[in-house]
Structure 1
Amino acid sequence: MSTHCITDGNHAINVADPTGVGTAFREALAHFCSGVVIVTAANATGSPVGMTVGSFTSISMNPPLVGFFAGQNSTTLPHIIAEGGFCVNVLSEDQHGLARTFARSGVDKFAGTDWAPATNGSPRLAGAHAWIDCTLDQRQSIGDHDLVVGHVDALVVPQPNEPLVFHRSVFHGLRAHG
């Protein structure tokens, strides 16, 4: 029987030991650079809801599918699931403040935020790098997160700017160096 370990500096942490693995796991995954999106929807009363997501990905070209992971304790996720549609707002490099705002709970995330309704009524945030309007295709619980898969209904790239990325707990712009 083998022991599964994560190396933290000069020593290994047994992944079966929950006391040490959390910090080391987060540190190891922080070295992976990810794009940043805000997933939005309109709730049952028509009010906008949204959350920052760093685990967004394309899934399939035919049919066109995208997906993201959301924590099961998210207060926004139930609204997205109930409405059956959402918009993925791919953030521009200058929207790090918006990403931080939409990552918080218990605040009016849309206060002072310009947006317009997407084809499905979900908010498209002004200044985003791209918008992807989706219909909920499926949802599956995996660990302490839910995988949400959306069928792509519309795509818009409003401006040719640079995306926002997240690496080692800091937001960055992405510039080509040549």
Structure 2
Amino acid sequence: MERLTGPAADAVDPAAPVDPAAFREVLGAFASGITVVAAVADDGRPAGLACQSFASLSLDPPLVLLCVGKGSSSWPKVRAAGRFGVSILAEEQRAVCEALGRRGEDKFADVDWELSAHGAVRVSGALATVDCALEEVHEAGDHYLVTARVLELSARDGGSPLLYYRSDYATGAFG
């Protein structure tokens, strides 16, 4: 990784603390979409998590990236599967986000989903789905930075995304 050098680097004190509350408040001003990252676990049941840190990374090859908290109990199951789906949630899917954002074993009890040809779990009614194959996982602070190869894409016509903004849900009138 390339490090900052020169006068700008000299002006930065890497040991200076950043207030966590200020960090959340300032970065909360950036609205993000909400996704569900899910796979079929070793026991044959779906495992997944709500994830707001998701983005396209590369067109050639087609790659996406996501960030997952190290404390996630679902991520080890998704990681072990090697293939997973990313479902971009629609504004009417707040309950899905809440179900996948909680702790517990049966997060999918009230969530409609389907299995793709690639073995990825797709949430029914999502704005879009991306089937992925795990590429790399890197430690990054209290999260894992995950890169994945895109295997298949689909999107439905119409609808608006479920957003996360200033520590709360928001919707965007994009339809």
TM-score normalised to structure 2 length: 0.88
TM-score normalised to structure 1 length: 0.86
- The answer to whether 1:142 aligns with 2:140 is yes
Amino acid at match of 2:93: Q
Q: For residue 17 of structure 2, what is the aligned residue in structure 1?
A: 17
Amino acid at match of 1:77: W
Query: Which digits, 9 at most, give the CA deviation of each residue in 1:71-117, with x for residues without a partner?
Result: 11111111111111110000001111211221111252111211110
Task: Answer whether contact 1:85 1:120 (CA < 8 A) is retained.
Answer: yes
Amino acid at match of 1:120: H
Secondary structure of the residue aligned to 2:91 is coil
Task: Answer whether contact 2:159 2:174 (CA < 8 A) is retained.
Answer: no
Secondary structure of the residue aligned to 2:92 is coil
Task: Answer whether contact 2:86 2:131 (CA < 8 A) is retained.
Answer: yes
Q: For residue 27 of structure 2, what is the aligned residue in structure 1?
A: 29
List aligned pairs for 1:87-126, cutoff 5 A.
Answer: 87-106=85-104, 108-126=106-124
1:16 Cα deviation from its structure 2 partner? 2.5
Using the alignment, how far apart are the partners of 1:70 and 1:150 within structure 2? 13
Distance 1:134 1:176, change over 3 A: closer
Equivalent residue pairs, number: 166
Using the alignment, how far apart are the partners of 2:151 and 2:31 within structure 1? 27
List aligned pairs for 1:5-84, cutoff 5 A.
Answer: 16-17=16-17, 21-84=19-82
Q: 2:130 aligns with which of 104, 107, 132?
A: 132
Amino acid at match of 2:16: A
Using the alignment, how far apart are the partners of 1:174 and 1:51 within structure 2? 22
Gaps of 5+ in 2: 1-9
Identity %: 36
1:164 Cα deviation from its structure 2 partner? 1.1
Q: For residue 3 of structure 2, what is the aligned residue in structure 1?
A: none
Q: For residue 168 of structure 1, what is the aligned residue in structure 2?
A: 166
Gaps of 5+ in 1: 5-13
